[in-house]
Amino acid sequence: MTATTATTGPEPSASPGLPEPVGDPPLLEVRNLTVTYGGTVPAVRGVDLRVEAGQKLGIAGESGCGKSTLALALLRLLPATAKLTGEILLDGEDVLTMKWGRLRAVRWAGASIVFQGAMHSLNAVHRVGDQIAEPILLHSTRTTPAAARKRAGELLEQVGLPAARARAYPHELSGGQRQRVMIAMALACDPRLIIADEPTTALDVMIQAQILRLIEQLVADQDVGLIMISHDLAVLADTCDRLSVMYAGRVVEEGPARQVYAEARHPYGRALSAAFPRIGDPASRRAPRGLPGDPPDPAALPGGCTFHPRCPVALDSCATEDQELREAGGERRAACVLVNAPAADDSRSTS
Ligand code: ADP
Ligand code: MG
C-alpha cells in the first residue's frame, strides 16, 4: 500500500489576500524517484518530495544514504550508468522527459546546484569572474561579455566579496570565499530553486555559520526555493522549514523541521538529532550519542526495514517487514512500525 499525500486548506506560501490559482503546480514535486547505478546499486528508492516557491527543504542523512544522488538526479547530472524512473516536476514540467535543449535552459535558470567542495567544482585555470559570467552568457544571447562581467561583479558583491575579486583564480581565494563564488554562480541566472549539497561541510565552523546565513538571506530576499542537504540535522533545523530524513535511499521521516529535530518519530531521525545537538539550546542538552555501524551498501540491502540491524528498538518483525511512510502526528510522516496513527483511539472514522 502506498501512502498518499492529501493537501487540504490554503497553501502556506499563498500571498495574503491573493488566492493562488487553483491547480498551480508546486515549484518542485518529485514522485516515486528511483536511481539505480549500473543496474545493481539502488541508491535512491522511491523518493517523494515537494518544495513550494520560497520554501526551504532540508534533506538529512549519513554519508552514503543517497542525498547527492538525489540532488544530481533533480537536474539529470548523473553519469550515464545511472538509470532513473519516476517524475521530477519542476514548475509542472518533467525534468526526466525533457529534451536536451530544454534541459540546458532549465539548468542554472530553473534550478541550480551548489556542490560540496568548491575547489573541485571551480575550474582552476579560469578567473572566477569569467566562471560566473559563463552561465549568464550561455543563457542569454542578448547579453554582451562586458555586461556579463559586470553582472559577475555585482553577484560577487551580493555574496559579500569585492567585485574586484572577479579577477582572482580559485587558488587565490580561501575555502569560504570559493564557496561564496559558487553561490554567486548558482544565483547568476536567477534560478527559482537552489540545491545546496553540503555547502559548508568543508569549511570551519565560523565560516560555516556565515555561509549558512548568506544562503538563508539570499533565499529570503529572492523568494526562491531551497533544498539544503546536510548530515547535520541541527543545521537543517535552524535553516529549513521542512525536513526529509533519508536512509538507504529512502525518505524515512519528514515533517516541519523543528519538530523533526526536536522529537523525531523514526529511530533513525532520533539518532541523527542526538548525534548533532544544537549548541546553546537548553531543550536539547543531551549528550551526543553515536549511532553504531554504518548505513548499508545499497548493493546489499538488508531485508525488512533497512534500518533494523542498527535500530535500538527493532522488533523481530522488522527483519522481514518493510515499512512505508505513515502519518505520524502533526504534519509528520515516518516509516516505522512503532509509529501509530495520531489519536488512534478516536480517529477511526476519518478513513
Ligand atoms: P550521500 O550523498 O548521501 O553520501 P551518495 O548519493 O553519494 O550518498 O551515494 C549513495 C550510494 O550510491 C553510495 O552507496 C555510493 O557508493 C553509491 N554511488 C554514488 N555514486 C555512484 C556512482 N557513480 N556509481 C555507483 N555507485 C555510486
Ligand atoms: Mg553527498
What digits encode the pLDDT tens for the residues 152-193? 999 999 999 999 999 999 999 998 999 999 999 999 999 999
Looking up residue 34, the CATH number of its domain turns out to be 3.40.50.300
Q: Which residues pair with 87 in a beta bridge?
A: 31
| 146 domain-assigned | no
Instruction: Using the predicted structure, report yes or no on whether residue 72 has a pLDDT greater than 60.
Output: yes
How confident is the model over 98-132, as pLDDT tens digits? 999 999 989 988 999 998 766 678 899 999 999 99
With a CB cutoff of 8 Å and minimum separation 6, the contacts of 233 are 58, 60, 243, 245, 260, 261, 269, 272, 273, 275, 276
| 149 domain-assigned | no
Instruction: Using the predicted structure, report yes or no on whether residue 299 has a pLDDT greater than 80.
Output: yes
Strand-pair category, 333-334 with 250-256: antiparallel
Which ligand is closest in space to the CA of residue 294? 1
Order across the sheet with 242-247: list the strands. Answer: 111-114, 193-197, 225-230, 56-60, 242-247, 250-256, 333-334, 326-327
Query: What is the model's pLDDT at position 284?
Result: 45
Query: What is the model's pLDDT at position 85?
Result: 98
Task: Give the number of the atom of ligand 1 that is nearest the alpha carbon of residue 72.
Answer: 6
Q: How far is the CA of 116 from the centre of ligand 2 (A)?
A: 8
Angle at 334 between CA 88 and CA 65, to 5 degrees: 60
Q: How far is the CA of 250 from the centre of ligand 2 (A)?
A: 14
| 129 domain-assigned | no
Query: What is the model's pLDDT at position 11?
Result: 42
Instruction: Using the predicted structure, report yes or no on whether residue 351 has a pLDDT greater than 90.
Output: no
Confidence grade of residue 68 (pLDDT, cut at 50, 70, 90): very high
Q: How far is the CA of 303 from the centre of ligand 1 (A)?
A: 20
Inter-axis angle of helices 100-109 and 128-139, nearest 10: 130
* Pocket flag, ligand 1, residue 192 (CB < 6 Å): no
Query: What is the model's pLDDT at position 71?
Result: 96
Task: Give the number of the atom of ligand 1 that is nearest the alpha carbon of residue 69.
Answer: 6
Range of the domain at 296: 24-110+191-351
* Domains identified in the chain, total number: 1
Instruction: Using the predicted structure, report yes or no on whether residue 77 has a pLDDT greater than 90.
Output: yes
User: Bigger pLDDT: 4 or 274?
Assistant: 274
| 217 domain-assigned | yes
How confident is the model over 215-227, as pLDDT tens digits? 998 888 888 999 9
The CA-atom distances, in angstroms, between 164 and each of 17, 125, 243 are 44, 18, 38
| 140 domain-assigned | no
| 308 domain-assigned | yes
| 93 domain-assigned | yes
* Cell numbers representing residue 329 in the block: 502526528
For residues 26 and 50, the answer to whether their CB atoms sit within 8 Å is yes
Interval 69-84 mean pLDDT: 96
| 280 domain-assigned | yes
* Pocket flag, ligand 1, residue 42 (CB < 6 Å): no
